[in-house]
Chain A
Amino acid sequence: MSSHKNISIVERRRLREKKYKKHNLANILTHWFNVAMWALLLPTGIAIISSPRLGLSPLWMQELFRNMFGGAANLIKFHYTLGFIWGFVLIFNILVGFRKYFVPFAVKRMLLDKDDIQWLMIKPIQMLGFMKDKELPPQDAYNAGQKLYMYVVILGTLGIMVSGPVMALKTLFPPILKQIAQPLHWLSVFAIVAGVIIHVYMGAIFPEEKEAFFSMFGGNVSAWYARAHHEKWYWEKVQEEMDWEEEVGRQIQESSESKKPSTHSQPSL
């Protein structure tokens, strides 16, 4: 497979016009639901952590949110309630789409292959400004960096979902678990946040990935973007298209063959 840099101008124009569907509606809605919940849960969560010994949240923020919600207890209740809604909806979505979306995604999109490992070895060095001329191996629908971030998000989400209820349902769990749950919850959140900084920048601001941002609204990316950034996925799509054309061609042929006897028998009636 040759580099996309050798593609002719006519072909580039054609690829720009052509659209491939990258995200389906369920994923788009779940993504933005997740964004909205994080936007509410992260600041309230940071504002709750008031331990002066840890010194993790600024005093003005603690006071601002406590005053907004009317005291520490109400702030915590808001965080709990929203957290349970968040967890419930995500788990519900995964269970409902388990066979249709989750299993194919986990099997086809998440595993790291040889190209991914090579990408992970080259890309960080290129980001530091060396080996610019070395070509990156072709990537799947998600590149190796995205895949790594996916693992962080999945593990972090599990960590949050396990440790959150332990603290919220305080009569059910022994103190030792509540003690462990606190740093676990915090670690899970901020491991994800460390990735989110890059994720938001790459998704929304970085010029080369602009199509990725709009694909989170409309679901489509151009074939040119797919060819340039996710080559393996592009060829997969092309293969799907060819299979579809073949299938439709056969169906048309079959239906026209099956119609022949009926047209013959008509005049005899």
Chain B
Amino acid sequence: MADKKRYGFVIDISRCIDCRACQVACSVENSVPLNHTRIWIHDQGVQGTFPELSRTFVPYNCMHCEHPPCIEVCVSGATYKDPNNGLVLVDQEACIGCGFCVEACPYEARYLDEKRGVVDKCNGCIQRVEIGQKPACVATCLGGSRLFGDLNDPGSDASIALKNARSVFRLDVEGKNIDTDPNIYFVNAPKSLTSLVTSDAFKQQGKAVPRAPEYTISEEGWKKVLVPAIAAGIGASFLVQATYFTKQLIEGEKEFDE
């Protein structure tokens, strides 16, 4: 058992019946505005040919990644990964609601709360977990599809389900500078399900996750154009100043020659 907690979700796909009670429970618990939701249930649609049909529902929310792309772009440090429990949280007092992180998240797990001018997302119901309760979505899941627990603790619900699983897959995003390493483990999925991207129906909704992280023009321009330009400017200015100062130190000052 490791010292630090690593909270994560284990989602048993074979047990989800698409009742969406978890969405309601989450919105009530966390006062989520009516036009938004922090968690989703993705419908893969009917698959196969008659009479061998199947339909799969994939509940998901913030993956609480080990290496989250959202933290990489947060300018004020409002989004952070809690060092004690591994949850990715938003300090909404520090958040200015610019939405850099909304674009960067490969799972579309964040939304902008227009009224409060901040970004909001799943916080793993940390307010419940800290007093020993399960997150609202997990507590309300009647099929027992959603499980939550410390993945570093082999005795937790999540770890036991993960150990007994027939199959496990994650929506990992790996690329040039990115490896999200998500902390949602999907278990007991049908073999056809390897990624949410495979579904054509899902793509048509314009919501194929995971996607590559996106960076806005202002963020990209800041990083690639402004930073080098200003670095050159400050460098040149400092160099001139340093040259003259060195010259002054070497030559000394004469009182009557100003």
Contacts and interface: CB of A to CB of B under 8 A. Distances in A.
Nearest to A179: B218
A51 B74 contact: yes
A198 B240 contact: yes
A180 to B, nearest CB: 5
Secondary structure type dominating chain A contacts: helix
Contacts, number: 122
B99 A190 contact: no
B98 A190 contact: no
Given A170-B96, A194-B237, A198-B241, A182 B230 contact: no
Interface residues of B, number: 45
A56 B227 contact: yes
Given A171-B116, A183-B218, A50 B74 contact: yes
A74 B136 CA distance: 30
B117 A72 contact: no
A146 to B, nearest CB: 15
A110 interface: no
B98 A175 contact: yes
Contact of A72 (B78, B230, B240): B78
B248 A206 contact: yes
Contact of A62 (B77, B112, B216): B77
B91 A53 contact: no
A52 B254 CA distance: 48
Of the four ranges (under 10, 10 to 19, 20 to 34, 35 or more), the interface on chain A belongs to: 35 or more
Given A194-B233, A198-B237, A66 B77 contact: yes
Contacts of A62: 77
Contacts of A173: 117
Interface string A41-73: 000000011111110100000100010000111
B218 A76 contact: no
B223 interface: yes
14 contacts: A48-B76, A53-B73, A54-B223, A72-B78, A72-B94, A170-B96, A170-B118, A171-B115, A186-B222, A186-B230, A198-B240, A207-B248, A207-B258, A208-B258
